[in-house]
Chain A
């Protein structure tokens, strides 16, 4: 993970229009923003659009960036907004996965109770398993998906996730819990079937 701290990138240089410093920020932040786009939308073309739009918006709004959060948190915020806008524009398809439960604070009680932790480690590392992990992310309602990606994939702290998404501590923790429980259910179905095959 390439997290950029404020000490790595000079905010005054960015704000003064130093193109080389902005290019350095783009260079360092590109893998993280591209990855976020890929996981939010599930498509390489969409990830590229989000990547380009994020830095175009950043360039346009450099004057408003006050440096209270790190440049990376600021870029994540722009990128998530871009992703959510793109998803909203495609609302007819998206409404199917963005069920009302995604917006409520209700915690859905676990249903899948198979213990699949005992599977051999090699089972978890296959290309097929990786596909299952990615597919499970796409089943998350998008607001839970954004919290999960920033916290558990990008490795932001709760505080940084709050800043990037403009959410309260309680909202981040609640969405993170619901996202993790949802993914646990999905993986339990997938790996539960692998246990069944192991036993045959």
Chain B
């Protein structure tokens, strides 16, 4: 990396940066650094993509109907189990 000490210092901020909650002064400092440091830009871009992929990858997992039925039975709530 072009400025190793700077890269290491800013690494701790990138999670909050991609969440958009990093405080303004640190945000400006980080963005200035990203213009100069290709490696850090790649890390930030791929970190953001990683989080996006996980957000997209998991629509509500289907719970198998038999799992749901066994659960309600175990809890003695058999009369409330949804059949659909």
Min CB gap A156→B, angstroms: 13
Contact present for B12 and A52 (CB under 8 Å): no
**Residues of chain A lying within 8 A (CB to CB) of residue B62:** 31
Complex CA–CA separation, A26 to B51 (angstroms) = 29
Complex CA–CA separation, A24 to B81 (angstroms) = 9
- Assuming the contacts A130-B57, A173-B16, asked whether A59 and B50 have C-beta atoms less than 8 A apart, the reply is no
Q: Does A183 make an interface contact (CB < 8 A)? A: yes
Q: Does A64 make an interface contact (CB < 8 A)? A: no
Q: Does A143 make an interface contact (CB < 8 A)? A: no
Name A172-191 residues within 8 Å CB distance of B.
Answer: 173, 176-177, 180-181, 183-184, 187-188
**Residues of chain A lying within 8 A (CB to CB) of residue B26:** none
Taken residue by residue from 5 to 32, chain B's Cβ proximity to chain A (1 for < 8 Å, 0 otherwise) reads as 0011001101110000000000000000
Contact present for B46 and A26 (CB under 8 Å): no
- Assuming the contacts A20-B80, A34-B67, A115-B45, asked whether A177 and B12 have C-beta atoms less than 8 A apart, the reply is yes
Of the candidates A23, A35, A112, A115, which one forms a contact with B80 in the assembled complex, judged by CB atoms under 8 Å apart? A23
Contact present for B68 and A30 (CB under 8 Å): yes
Min CB gap B19→A, angstroms: 9
Complex CA–CA separation, A56 to B77 (angstroms) = 12
Which residues of B does A touch, CB under 8 Å? 7-8, 11-12, 14-16, 39, 42-43, 45-47, 49-51, 53-58, 60-64, 67-68, 70-72, 74-75, 77, 80, 82
